[in-house]
């Protein structure tokens, strides 16, 4: 039996504007409303609406046999509400099908787990509340920003009442083991681990339109063949990817929607295959083994580490400065200040400061709304200084 | 492969990037076993020991033509200089001198044996055309700057323009130092883009850098401008930015290294802005002094209005200095670890200067990554690309 588990990450950061030295003390608008609106409009048109529509059609057509899981950040939800409420409506509609599950994560898509456990827990709670309010659900599965994971995260997730956590099925943590089983955290008995099958996931997310790839073009029957081969030596195939894969990273004219449209039917042609939501998979399969993971793993780049966000001095000093403000921001009781401080925690801001451009670097460049990592650092630090000034004035 | 190359300026007698570029290229070519006969104007104060060392290789031979020519001279400075050199007999104007140089080139071309002619900038183009007529060999003109760069597009000299255009039309191939310059040649000189190859300049990275620190040591942060004080280089934008920076940061000094026809204007402007105590004029620097200037600097600014290439940011980076670079430049096509600016955007230039001075992690990341980036440059690569252009053309003849 092979259970195929789709999980899609839905996220948009509040990009900051070109905030100059001379704005410090003079300008309160940190975020680039125009750019954020434009990007939201573009991605809505190319990805969110058409993909949601297709997923809904597939669920309806397949009579409940097609199921998917989503994790939607608070930053994306807020921007749907502000700029594109119809996207939120379409997610609500999906949530009524009973074939869609929503996961828990930090509301702000932050790296707070690495810097402040208190802040981390608060953000997870905020996200929980949003899920309750918007979709009337209580997430049971946790996914941390960028699939950042180690034993300690499992412990935190356990404390917060989750029963499973997602992680990257990286070679260096698995060794000879396969990502196609359910595992357990070494340090938290109640936490099962679902590991991303990065090969099959990336075949769709990264290589789909890659002409130099020897499997190009990727078709639904071909992909289903690969899934079928897991029968007999695995229970789950975890296909984890950014939702923007559909229509935004991989374009419609390259056939990504055609692929998605046929894939469920092709996969179910094999009688031992099925689709499950993540908590169904967790319920269905016992953990085969405990994984003991001390060093942090993530789903980024070839290194599967933190270097995309915390790889240079600009990144580490910017994030340190940010979390050093935590106590005073919270003590100030100033809601706007707190909210802005949290929006600045979104991991994307640090990603934009990444300077390891030269291999998978090209991906970074594509996503960078600034002229260079240096420019994004300057804007970010200027904002930090403005916030410090505001904190001083609060006293 | 034998090249008859027509020059311009050459270290130590050089006032700008043209000399540096030609020196680097000639060295690179000799490493690739290209025989170069280099035709140079002989300045009255020319040919010091260093020069002899540079060219003491069997691959390069030198032919000198007596002249007082220098590539960045305008007619007025030419006249001043020729008065000083009155013991020799020179042409009456800069343009006479160009013609004389071109005449002398005929004889050299007739006597020499070569496969290709390579000229650098307008002053040598007539010489190149003459050599081509005599020997029927392919002519390559190498454009390091156009009249539009030098004048910022205002009041271009029609005679210089016509020489440039003649040279480009007569050439079998044109080498542009950047895509920026290529576009200029296509748009302003109406040349077909297929005729133009882009060959970026480089820098020879020296492993053994003298890490000794120099000079003003140093309570103040130092922002460096190094270039001719002419319209093209935008020294005026640099001092307007200085003024703005000084409104927000006090412990900063601005060092202007270079001379040129805007020198008086800039000095007066600095006084008028009330920042005379914060701006130091270092004059025209050469050799080790240039090195010292970089070593002192906390950030280097290239504020050019129009910079065909711009080697100085590479030099600054090789000295671990973070660089702020005008978008109107060729060098910005080949480096990524820098801050880009529009030369007219005083706010942004000063924003970036202050940011580099205030934020140590920014300074360090720029400096470390810039240093790694600049290591990859080599004049041998520039020479290789020139040789490709030679080969494409010699086949035709």
ipTM of the complex as predicted: 0.88
Cα→Cα distances A141→A71, A138, A149, A160, A338, Å: 10, 9, 14, 11, 27
- Same domain, yes or no: B194 and B304: no
Catalytic residues of A: 146
Taking only the tens place, the pLDDT of each residue in B299-328 is 999 999 999 999 999 999 999 999 999 999
* A22–B351 CB contact, under 8 Å: yes
Q: Which residues in chain A (213-242) have CB-CB distances under 8 A to chain B?
A: none
A313 to chain B: nearest residue by CA?
Answer: B361
Q: Which residues in chain A (295-354) have CB-CB distances under 8 A to chain B?
A: 312-314, 316-318
CA–CA separation, A151 vs B76, rounded Å?
Answer: 77
- Same domain, yes or no: B29 and B107: yes
- Same domain, yes or no: B16 and B162: yes
Closest by alpha carbon to B121, among B91, B101, B93? B101
* Pick from A118-122, A350-354, B204-208: least confident: B204-208
Name which of A20, A314, A371 is nearest B361 (Cβ-Cβ): A314
The yes-or-no verdict on residue B99 having pLDDT over 90 is: no
Number of domains in chain B: 2
Residue B167 belongs to a domain = yes
Reported as a pLDDT band with limits 50, 70 and 90, residue A80 is very high
Chain A with chain B: Cβ pairs closer than 8 A: 57
- Please list, in sequence order, all residues whose beta carbon lies within 8 angstroms of the beta carbon of residue A255, skipping any fewer than 6 positions away: A217
| Three-state SS annotation for B20-33 | HHHHHHHHHHHHCC
- Specify whether the CB–CB gap between A306 and A353 falls below 8 A: no
Residue B337 belongs to a domain = yes
B336 chain-A contacts, CB cut-off 8 A: 357, 372
Task: Give the domain range for residue B257.
Answer: 221-375
A310 chain-B contacts, CB cut-off 8 A: none
- Same domain, yes or no: B102 and B124: yes
**Alpha-carbon torsion (A96, A98, A100, A105), positive or negative:** positive
Reported as a pLDDT band with limits 50, 70 and 90, residue B68 is low
CA–CA separation, B197 vs B185, rounded Å?
Answer: 11
pLDDT at B58: 66
- Same domain, yes or no: B368 and B389: no
Reported as a pLDDT band with limits 50, 70 and 90, residue B89 is very low
A227: its two tokens: 């899934």
- Same domain, yes or no: B130 and B117: yes
Q: Does A389 touch chain B (CB under 8 A)?
A: no
Helix/strand number for chain A, H first, E second: 19, 10
Compute the average pLDDT of residues A246-263: 94
The yes-or-no verdict on residue A376 having pLDDT over 50 is: yes
Closest by alpha carbon to B165, among B181, B141, B183? B141
CA–CA separation, B80 vs B167, rounded Å?
Answer: 28
- Candidates A374, A375, A380, A382, partner chain B, best to mutate (most B CBs within 10 A): A374
A388 chain-B contacts, CB cut-off 8 A: none
DSSP track, B259-321: --TTHHHHHHHHHHTT-GGGEEEEES--THHHHHHHHH-SEEEE--SSBSS-SHHHHHHHTT-
* A22–B361 CB contact, under 8 Å: no
Name which of A313, A357, A375 is nearest B361 (Cβ-Cβ): A313
- Same domain, yes or no: B83 and B35: yes
Q: Which residues in chain A (348-387) have CB-CB distances under 8 A to chain B?
A: 355, 357, 371-372, 374-375, 377-378, 381-382
pTM listed for this prediction: 0.90
- Using a CB–CB cut-off of 8 Å, the residues of B that contact A are 248, 336-340, 347-348, 350-352, 354-355, 358-362, 364-366, 369
Residue B293 belongs to a domain = yes
Which CATH fold would you assign to the domain A2-291? 7-stranded beta/alpha barrel (3.20.110)
A314 chain-B contacts, CB cut-off 8 A: 359, 361-362, 365
Structural domain boundaries in chain A:
2-291, 308-394
């Amino acid at each position: 039996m092979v259970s195929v588990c789709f999980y899609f990450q839905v996220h948009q950061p509040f990009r900051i504007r070109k905030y100059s030295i001379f704005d410090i003390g003079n300008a309160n608008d940190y975020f680039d409303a125009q750019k954020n609106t434009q990007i939201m409009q573009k991605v809505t048109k190319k990805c969110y609406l058409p993909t949601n529509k297709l997923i809904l059609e597939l669920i309806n057509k397949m009579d409940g046999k097609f199921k998917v899981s989503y994790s939607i950040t608070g930053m994306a939800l807020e921007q749907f509400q502000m700029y594109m409420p119809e996207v939120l409506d379409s997610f609500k509609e999906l949530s009524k099908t009973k074939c869609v599950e929503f996961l828990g994560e930090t509301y702000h898509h932050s790296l707070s787990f690495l810097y402040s456990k208190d802040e981390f827990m608060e953000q997870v709670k905020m996200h929980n509340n949003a899920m309750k309010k918007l979709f009337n659900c209580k997430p049971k599965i946790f996914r941390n920003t960028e699939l950042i994971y180690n034993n300690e995260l499992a412990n935190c997730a356990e404390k917060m009442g989750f029963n499973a956590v997602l992680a990257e099925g990286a070679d260096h943590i698995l060794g000879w083991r396969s990502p196609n089983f359910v595992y357990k955290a070494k340090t938290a008995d109640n936490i099962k681990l679902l590991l991303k099958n990065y090969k099959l996931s990336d075949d769709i997310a990264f290589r789909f339109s890659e002409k130099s790839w020897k499997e190009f073009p990727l078709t639904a029957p071909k992909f289903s063949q690969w899934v079928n081969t897991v029968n007999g030596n695995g229970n789950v195939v975890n296909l984890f990817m950014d939702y923007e894969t559909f229509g935004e990273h991989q374009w419609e004219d390259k056939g990504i929607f055609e692929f998605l449209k046929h894939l469920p039917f092709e996969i179910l042609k094999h009688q031992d295959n099925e689709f499950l939501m993540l908590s169904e998979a967790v319920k269905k399969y016992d953990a085969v083994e405990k994984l003991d993971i001390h060093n942090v793993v993530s789903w980024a780049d070839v290194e599967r580490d933190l270097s995309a966000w915390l790889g240079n001095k600009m990144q580490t000093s910017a994030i340190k400065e940010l979390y050093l403000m935590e106590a005073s921001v919270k003590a100030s009781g100033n809601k706007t200040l707190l909210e802005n401080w949290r929006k600045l925690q979104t991991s994307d801001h640090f990603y934009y400061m990444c300077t390891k451009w030269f291999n998978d670097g090209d991906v970074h460049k594509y996503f960078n709304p600034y002229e260079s990592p240096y420019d994004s650092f300057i804007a970010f630090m200027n904002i930090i200084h403005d916030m410090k000034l505001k904190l001083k004035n609060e006293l | 492969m034998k090249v008859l190359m027509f020059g311009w300026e050459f270290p130590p007698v050089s006032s700008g990037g043209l000399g540096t570029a030609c020196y680097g290229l000639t060295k690179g070519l000799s490493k690739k076993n290209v025989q170069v006969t280099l035709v140079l104007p002989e300045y009255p104060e020319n040919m010091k020991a260093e020069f002899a060392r540079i060219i003491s290789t069997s691959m390069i031979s030198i032919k000198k033509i007596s002249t007082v020519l220098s590539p960045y001279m305008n007619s007025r400075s030419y006249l001043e200089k020729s008065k000083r050199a009155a013991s020799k007999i020179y042409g009456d104007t800069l343009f006479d001198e160009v013609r004389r140089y071109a005449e002398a080139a005929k004889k050299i071309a007739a006597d020499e044996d070569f496969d290709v002619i390579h000229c650098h900038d307008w002053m040598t183009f007539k010489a190149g055309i003459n050599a081509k007529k005599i020997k029927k060999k392919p002519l390559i003109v190498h454009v390091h700057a156009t009249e539009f760069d030098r004048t910022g597009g205002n009041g271009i000299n029609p005679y210089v323009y016509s020489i440039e255009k003649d040279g480009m039309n007569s050439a079998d191939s044109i080498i542009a130092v950047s895509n920026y310059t290529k576009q200029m040649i296509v748009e302003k000189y109406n040349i077909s883009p297929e005729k133009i190859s882009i060959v970026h300049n480089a820098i020879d990275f020296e492993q053994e850098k003298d890490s000794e620190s120099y000079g003003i040591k140093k309570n103040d942060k130092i922002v460096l401008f190094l270039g001719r004080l002419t319209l093209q280089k935008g020294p005026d934008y640099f001092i307007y930015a200085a003024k703005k920076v000084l409104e927000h940061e006090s412990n900063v000094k601005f060092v202007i290294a270079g001379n040129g026809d805007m020198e008086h204007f800039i000095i007066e402007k600095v006084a008028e802005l009330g920042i005379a105590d914060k701006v130091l004029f270092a004059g025209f620097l050469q050799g080790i002094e240039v090195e010292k200037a970089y070593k002192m600097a906390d950030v280097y600014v290239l504020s050019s209005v129009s910079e065909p290439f711009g080697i100085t940011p590479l030099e600054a980076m090789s000295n671990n200095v973070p660089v702020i670079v005008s978008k109107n430049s060729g060098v910005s096509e080949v480096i990524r670890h820098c801050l880009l600016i529009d030369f007219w955007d005083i706010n942004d230039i000063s924003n970036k200067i202050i940011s580099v001075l205030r934020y140590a992690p920014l300074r360090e990341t720029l400096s470390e990554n810039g240093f790694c980036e600049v290591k990859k440059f080599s004049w041998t690569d520039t020479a290789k690309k020139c040789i490709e252009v030679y080969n494409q053309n010699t086949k035709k003849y």
